[in-house]
Amino acid sequence: MDCLITKLKGRVSDDTLPVLGRMYIGVLHQESPSSITQKLVITSSEAQTISVEGGESNLTLDESMSTGWTNSVELEPNIATTFYCKNGDYRLIVPNKYAITGIGKWESDVGGGAISLNIDDFRYSNDFSTLFVNDKAKIYGDLSSMSGKHINILSNLTNITGKISDINTICWSDWTGYTGIVITGNSIVTGDLSELVHTEYSDKLERLSLQRKNDDFNVTGDISVISSIFPNINSLDLSGRNTSLNKISGNIKDLTMPLTTLVIYNSNIEGAIEDFVSTQRTQGRTTGSCNNGGWWGNKITFKGNPIAKSTNDTLSWTATQITCADETITA
């Protein structure tokens, strides 16, 4: 069969058109820059060059940030490369976003506070697994972008949107750090805890943090459903900016997970410390401890009374005693 092909002469000259595979990471000006705020760690499955848009010498491998300034950094395959960004407002060019497997790495000095990035850029990056930056970073995009990915950690998601049910579609993985998700800041997530479901990956989740810090964050529901969905969580944060806006409720006696951190202040979660410890003991934790993140809130009681803020924010217990707010009782 004959086919007529007509070729038209022409070209497009538009620098605003997106380049296939390219993404940008923003660097944001910091009032008090340091090697921590300016640190950025990137892991790529392929060798590629991270460069400064505009060509300025704003990057260095020197932790002291005193020498070695250049306009680009080379990433070697499957090696977490740590570099430092000069303070200011500009963008870094990542030529192949599909090869990026991680932003940040598991370490005590969590960097990345000076960056902004869109997690939607990783929607089709099948091997992306790690986002570990501090809560000063601006991480935006939709949580559904992480659907189907084998994720180690997503922390801190400060400006995202999404539904609570999006968590069901993430394939949690084992790795050297804790496996978890931290949603905080100006993020807007909606839905009821009852929409969470147990999947073949749920048992790997160790940290769940849904912090309501703005009026549009609207996660509701009773915490009693969490234990059966994520039975191995040891860190749970459902705190809020104020009690009237936080619509998460329930009783701490229904939490059967091996919790070492439970942050629930400014929520509608209630209960007695004695009942919480009793539940933990029935799960085999005859001795243990649990940090409250600074305060139990005004709906949790000990010895029948609300618990005042204390210099000691860790609850501990043995088979016969409970210590809370610097007081030990036999129980």
Higher pLDDT, 301 or 309: 301
Residue 81 · residue 75 · CB < 8 Å: yes
Q: What is the pLDDT of residues 50-68, one digit of tens each?
A: 999 999 999 999 999 999 9
Is a pLDDT exceeding 70 seen at residue 76? yes
Is a pLDDT exceeding 80 seen at residue 9? no
What confidence category does residue 83 fall into, taking pLDDT thresholds of 50, 70 and 90?
very high
- Take residue 291 and report the two structure tokens written for it: 């940090």
Q: What number is the average pLDDT over the span 150-155? A: 96
What confidence category does residue 273 fall into, taking pLDDT thresholds of 50, 70 and 90?
very high
What is the predicted pLDDT for the residue at 1? 64
Q: What whole-number distance in Å separates Cα of residue 238 and Cα of residue 225? A: 14
Q: What is the pLDDT of residues 165-201, one digit of tens each?
A: 999 999 999 888 899 999 999 999 999 999 999 999 9
Which positions ≥6 away from 181 have C-beta within 8 Å? 151, 153, 154, 155, 157, 167, 170, 205, 207, 208, 209
Q: What is the pLDDT of residues 210-257, one digit of tens each?
A: 998 888 999 999 999 999 999 999 999 999 887 777 889 999 999 999
pTM, full prediction: 0.93
Average pLDDT over all residues of the chain:
94
Which positions ≥6 away from 256 have C-beta within 8 Å? 227, 231, 279, 280, 282, 283
* Number of residues that this document lists for the chain: 331
Q: What whole-number distance in Å separates Cα of residue 214 and Cα of residue 159? A: 11
